[in-house]
């Protein structure tokens, strides 16, 4: 079965166990004591470094006139957990994840975290498996699956945080700077929950929730961008 994932990844593995290990979460070992492989955290550690280097090298070579700060933002947008989880899903990694029954039930943020880590671990597995050609193989894999997302990130300014993007778009399209208002505040001081509205003028575009005002504002801005189709 893991050979199917190797085909999707596009690498002929010398040691297919490395790929199997790359999709093995720590929780799976707790329920399967006789499992012969390690979990994927060391591969993830290695793959994270390779991924960052390939992306950095690409940006350095292809954007000679862009300042370091701008390229740092682009790189962050390319290698953040949300993006890597999306790419993992596109490749088809999710159906091959080895995890505990408890982890398998969680389809939310925890699953996204697992998928992002698995992508980094797969990168690490490719690097180790392809021996002297490890970096070249990783580079080809990353250019195909990750760097191809860059034009969309630059065009839609996805490298900016949601509040900055919403502000830019609102000023450009409506000539107004967005504002945020607390609509609801619940819970004791140590465990507060906020509901905040994102407004353009007097129009409430969207609501966001969070455990801090900043988090609720970010969520409101993200939803406002979706609501407006920006």
The residues annotated as belonging to the active site are 48, 120
From residue 45, alpha-carbon distances to 4, 42, 56, 103 in Å are 24, 5, 17, 21
Distance between CA atoms of residues 196 and 194, nearest Å: 6
- Paired tokens of 179: 């504002």
Q: Residue 99: which of 1, 26, 148, 159 has the closest Cα?
A: 26
> What one-character DSSP code corresponds to residue 10?
T
Burial code of 66-102, b = ≥16 C-beta within 10 A, e = fewer?
A: eeeeebebbbebbbeeebbbbbbeebebbebbbbbee
Q: Is the dihedral of CA 87, 164, 169, 205 positive or negative?
A: positive
- Rg value, the chain, Cα: 21
- Paired tokens of 114: 């697992």
């Amino acid at each position: 079965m893991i050979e199917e994932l190797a085909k999707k990844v596009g690498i002929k593995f010398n040691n297919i166990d490395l790929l199997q290990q790359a999709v093995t979460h720590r929780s799976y070992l707790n329920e399967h004591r006789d499992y012969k492989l390690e979990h994927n955290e060391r591969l993830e550690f290695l793959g994270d470094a390779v991924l960052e280097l390939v992306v950095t090298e690409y940006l350095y070579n292809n954007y000679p006139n862009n300042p370091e700060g701008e390229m740092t933002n682009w790189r962050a947008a390319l290698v953040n957990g949300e993006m890597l989880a999306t790419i993992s899903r596109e490749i088809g990694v999710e159906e091959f994840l080895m995890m505990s029954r408890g982890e398998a039930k969680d389809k939310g943020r925890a699953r996204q975290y697992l998928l992002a880590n698995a992508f980094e671990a797969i990168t690490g597995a490719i690097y180790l498996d392809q021996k002297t050609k490890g970096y070249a193989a990783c580079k080809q894999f990353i250019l195909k699956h990750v760097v191809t997302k860059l034009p969309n990130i630059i065009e839609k300014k996805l490298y900016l945080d949601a509040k900055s993007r919403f502000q830019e778009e609102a000023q450009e399209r409506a000539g107004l700077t967005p504002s945020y208002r607390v609509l609801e505040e619940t819970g004791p001081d140590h465990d507060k929950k906020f509901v905040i509205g994102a407004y353009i003028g007097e129009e409430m575009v969207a609501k966001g929730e969070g455990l801090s005002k900043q988090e609720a504002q970010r969520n409101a801005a993200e939803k406002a961008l979706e609501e407006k189709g920006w």
